[in-house]
Amino acid sequence: MQNIELDKNLVNKYEKCILYYFAKRAIDIFGSLFAIILFSPIFIAVSIFIKLDSKGKVLFSQERVGLNGKVFKMYKFRSMIDNAEDLLEKLMHKNEMSGPMFKIKEDPRITKVGRFIRRTSIDELPQLFNVLKGEMSLVGPRPNLPREVEKFSEFHKLKLLAKPGLTCYWQVMGRNNIGFEEWINLDIKYIEERNLWIDIKLIFKTFFVLFGDENAH
């Protein structure tokens, strides 16, 4: 009798898990499509301003590590000068972020338009196409660079058990004012607690970041 009850519990847990992933993917598809249509005037306007502001492509793609360590190309509006990656090594000594991450508040590589779109998180909008393709989700741990993941401990790698997302706890709880270890802990906290209600709440909280976040740079 006990084995039957245990089997039922496992089946119920499995069914809830399948239902969650199915619903989450449906929200990702319809949510990203709706957002792309809604923000299409912003896509056009930002593209024009980036072109007028500095030389280079409008969109910037960069390899990031996703679910189960799979590498994919993540899209962003270009917010830096065209040769920003070439100048990275010269700026490493100014790093203000703990762990393998690199961030400096007054990054000289950021363009005038870039500062605005970063502060309002508009630079992240092209990732809606990553969500539509299934490489990312609307909600999930932010994806890291391969060179950062190479320095991860086994504990840090637990964040790779979830599909990366546009937003998560880190995005709405301080962003760049949060240290690397706390960031990882928040990502793993999300993985342990995730459900549709948490996802929906995080989506709505993130919406207000678009109007400006003092912790974004």
In a domain, 67, yes or no: yes
In a domain, 216, yes or no: no
Per-residue pLDDT tens, the chain, 217 aa: give them.
Answer: 444 444 545 445 555 688 899 999 999 999 999 999 999 999 999 999 999 988 889 999 999 999 999 999 999 999 888 776 766 667 766 665 556 666 667 777 888 998 999 888 899 999 999 999 999 999 999 999 999 999 999 999 999 999 999 999 988 886 666 788 899 999 999 999 999 999 999 998 887 766 555 554 4
Q: Is the torsion defined by CA of 118, 195, 186, 130 positive or negative?
A: negative
In a domain, 217, yes or no: no
Domain that holds residue 190: 2-211
Residues 6+ apart with CB under 8 A from 160: 65, 66, 67, 68, 69, 149
Alpha carbon distance 113, 60 (integer Å): 14
Domain count, the chain: 1
3-class state of residue 109 by DSSP: coil
In a domain, 51, yes or no: yes
Q: What is the pTM of this model?
A: 0.83
Alpha carbon distance 141, 23 (integer Å): 18
Question: Which residue spans within 48-168 are E strands per DSSP?
Answer: 59-65, 71-77, 137-139, 165-167
Residue 198: C-alpha distances to residues 93, 169, 194 (Å): 38, 10, 6
In a domain, 12, yes or no: yes
In a domain, 117, yes or no: yes
